[in-house]
Structure 1
Amino acid sequence: MNTKILLAASLVAVFTMGFYAEDAVVFAQYMGNVGSEGETGSYTLEEALEIQRRRIEAAEANPASGSGTPYLDASGVVGASVIAGAVFGGIAGAFFIRGRSGKYAAMGRG
């Protein structure tokens, strides 16, 4: 591929992402529904602290629930890593095995 075309396409992609990224403004976590003039809703700091206290008490009362992150589940961290490794490893293995023979394989290597 022509390097000038590749460079131009890359620059267009970077500037396009930068142009549309300003539309996705991220706000810090706020309490309650914020009105059109920026006023905070009815969810106060005291209510937030009470909810967090209840969450801590519920976690202490039921220690078997853990953190809620299913590490060994298929939808968890380790399970998803094993599944992704098996899929991509199988594809890579197929390419390695397929690459050892064929029209363009080096002579005398198998």
Structure 2
Amino acid sequence: MNRKILLAASLMAVFTIGYYAYPTVAFAQYMGNVGSEGNTGSYTLEEALELQRRRIESAEANPSSGSGTPYLDAGGVVGASVIAGAVFGGIAGAFFFMGRKGKYAAMGRG
């Protein structure tokens, strides 16, 4: 198949999908519940500031609570990284050692 035709068809498909795709709007920071017309709820700036002030006071009153992210736990960041590294490293090691022998291994190298 001609590469130019394939490229043109791919570009047409991407632009067509992008044109007809449902437009989604992301509300990154809003105050209160956003209605269907984009209007916000009764959650005012003063209420938001009061809520944040109470959160800061609660965090200062309980310093041992931390952020809630268990870094060294098996379900945390480091634990999950170690487990994933061990699993994928074991699989890669098995492929490496099994690939050194067999009918496709280079003669004289193993």
Q: Which runs of 5+ in 2 are unaligned?
A: none
**Corresponding residue for 1:52?**
52
Cα RMSD (Å): 3.0
Kindly report structure 1 stretches of 4+ aligned residues shifted beyond 2 Å.
3-25, 34-39
Distance in 1 separating the partners of 2:97 and 2:63: 49
**Corresponding residue for 2:81?**
81
Label 1:35 to 1:25 Cα distance change in 2 as closer, same or farther (>3 A). closer
Distance in 2 separating the partners of 1:97 and 1:108: 16
Label 1:78 to 1:44 Cα distance change in 2 as closer, same or farther (>3 A). same
CA shift, 1:63, in A, is 0.5
**Corresponding residue for 2:61?**
61
TM-score by length of 1: 0.78
CA shift, 1:34, in A, is 2.2
Greater shift in the superposed pair: 57-66 or 7-16: 7-16
Greater shift in the superposed pair: 90-99 or 37-46: 37-46
**Corresponding residue for 2:107?**
107
Distance in 1 separating the partners of 2:86 and 2:77: 14
Label 1:11 to 1:107 Cα distance change in 2 as closer, same or farther (>3 A). farther
Listed one character per residue, the Cα deviations across residues 76-95 of structure 1 (whole Å, up to 9, x for unaligned) are: 11111111111110110000
Listed one character per residue, the Cα deviations across residues 38-62 of structure 1 (whole Å, up to 9, x for unaligned) are: 3221111111111111111111111
Instruction: Count the aligned residue pairs.
Output: 109
